[in-house]
Amino acid sequence: MATSMELKYGCNPNQKPAQIYMQEGELPLTVLNGKPGYINLLDALNGWQLVKELKAATHLPAATSFKHVSPAGAALGLPLNFIEKKIYFVDGDLSPLACAYARARGADRMSSFGDFIALSDVCDLSTAHLIAREVSDGVIAPGYEDAALELLKTKRKGAYTILQIDEAYVPAPLETKDVFGITFEQGRNEFKIDDSLLNEIVTKSEYLPKEARRDLLLALITLKYTQSNSVCYAYEGQTIGVGAGQQSRIHCTRLAGNKADFWHLRHHQRVLDLKFVDDISRPERDNAIDVYLGENYHDILDEHTWRKVFKTKPDPLTPSEKADWLAGARGVSLASDAFFPFDDNIKRARRSGVSFIAQPGGSIRDQDVINTCDALNLTMVFTGMRLFHH
C-alpha cells in the first residue's frame, strides 16, 4: 500500500493538482482496477463506513448505493420475494450480499444512476453479476472472489474502478478539513448506533416490534453519512426514501416521502404489468416508470414517445388510484438527523405509511410533535443524539 494517490483532478476539472494522502502510515485501500476520482473516493469512504456500521449493528450483510456524497439507497441482506425481484429486475437465487445490493439500488434507481457501491462483505459472483449490468462508477469492498473480480474488470471497457479496503483500518480520532485556506479540526463522529438508542419512547403508543427497531437503526446509520439536513424512510430492511441536503426539515421530509411514495407505487399491479419494448435500456426503463408514476404522464402520451418505451400504451394511474394505494401503506420507519421543529413533518410522513419514528428531540415544540404522533397512533422514540453530516 502507498502513502498517497495522485488523482486526475479534484471536484471539477479545473481543480488541480489533486491527491489523497496519509499524514502517518499507509493508505488503507488498494486500487485493483480503474482510476478513482476525487468524488469517487468521497463516496467510497463514506459508503464503506455506512455498510460497516450497518453490519455491526444488525449482523447482516449490507450494501449502499452512493451518489454525490449521500446514499441514494442502503439495505440489508434479507431475501427478496417474487414482487421485490420483479420491481428490482433481478431473478434467480441471490446471495445475501446480492440481495442487499439489489435492495439498495432498487430504493431509488434514478438517483443511483452512476453510483459508487459499498459492500460490507467480500464481493461474491452473485453480487458482481448484479453490479455488472448497472450504470455505476465503482465499488469498494473488503475483498473479492476471483471470479467476481474478473467479471467486474470487464465493466466499462476495463476501466471500472474497483477498490479493496482494509477491514482492520482504524482512523485517527481527530479529523481535519481545509476551507478557504483555513483548517477545521474535530473529533470523529464515533458515536455507536445500536438498539439501546431506541429505549426512550415518548408517545402513548409503545409498540415497537423488532423489525421496526431494525429499520430505525438502518435509517439512523444511513443519516449519519447523509448530507444534512436529512430524513430517511426505511421499510423491511432497506431505505425507501432519503432526503438530503435541504435547508428546511419539512423539505427533507417531503423529498424523502415522495421517493417513498414512488417505491410503494412500484408495487402496484398496473406498474408490474407494464410491457416495455425489447431493446429498452435499464436507465430508459427506470425513467419511463418514474414518468408513468409522476404528474407529467402526459409527456409519454403522444404516439411517437410512448412507442419508444412501451409495447402497448398504458393507462395512467389516476390521482385517486394512487391515493387509495398509498393509503394502505403501513409499518414504515422514519428517522431524522435533528429534531422536528413542527408537526407538519409528522403529518407528511404519515401519508407515506410511517408508523415508527426516531429523532433526537430537543425542540421547544416537542410536545406538539408528540401530541400529533399520539393523535395518529404513531410510536416515536427520542435518541438524544444529533447526526449532522457535512
| pTM, 2 dp | 0.95
Instruction: Kindly report the number of other CB atoms within 10 A of residue 35's CB atom.
Output: 13
Q: Taking residues 117-121, what's their average pLDDT?
A: 98
Helix 125-132 and helix 146-153: axis angle, to 10°? 10
| Distance set, CA 358 to CA 21, 372, 388 (Å) | 37, 14, 15
Euclidean distance between CA atoms 266 and 244, whole angstroms: 22
Q: pLDDT digits over 180-198, tens only? A: 999 999 999 999 999 999 9
- Residues annotated catalytic, as ranges: 67-68, 229, 390
Whether 295 has a pLDDT exceeding 80, the answer reads no
Buried b (16+ CB within 10 A) or exposed e, 120-131: bbbbbbbbbbbb
Residue type, 350: R
Whether 299 has a pLDDT exceeding 80, the answer reads no
| Grid coordinates of 321 | 388510484
Q: Taking residues 39-58, what's their average pLDDT?
A: 97
Q: Could you tell me which residue, 297 or 12, shows the higher pLDDT? A: 12
Q: What is the pLDDT of residue 379?
A: 98
Whether 42 has a pLDDT exceeding 70, the answer reads yes
Whether 294 has a pLDDT exceeding 90, the answer reads no
**What superfamily would CATH give domain 176-265+326-382?**
AICAR transformylase, duplication domain (3.40.140.20)
In sequence order, the β-bridge partners of residue 19 are: 6
What percentage of the chain carries pLDDT values higher than 90?
A: 87
| CATH class of the structural domain 4-170 | alpha beta
Q: Taking residues 235-245, what's their average pLDDT?
A: 96
Which alpha helices (DSSP H) does the chain contain, by range?
38-58, 82-88, 96-106, 109-112, 125-132, 146-153, 210-224, 249-265, 269-272, 282-293, 303-307, 319-327, 344-350, 366-375
Classify residue 156 as left (phi > 0), alpha (psi -120 to 50) or beta: left
Q: pLDDT digits over 344-385, tens only? A: 999 999 999 999 999 999 999 999 999 999 999 999 999 999
Q: What is the largest CA-CA distance in the chain?
A: 63
Q: Which of 121-125, 188-192, 294-298, 299-303 has the lowest mean pLDDT?
A: 299-303
Euclidean distance between CA atoms 194 and 43, whole angstroms: 24
pLDDT band at 300 (very low <50, low <70, confident <90, very high): low
Q: What is the pLDDT of residue 1?
A: 64
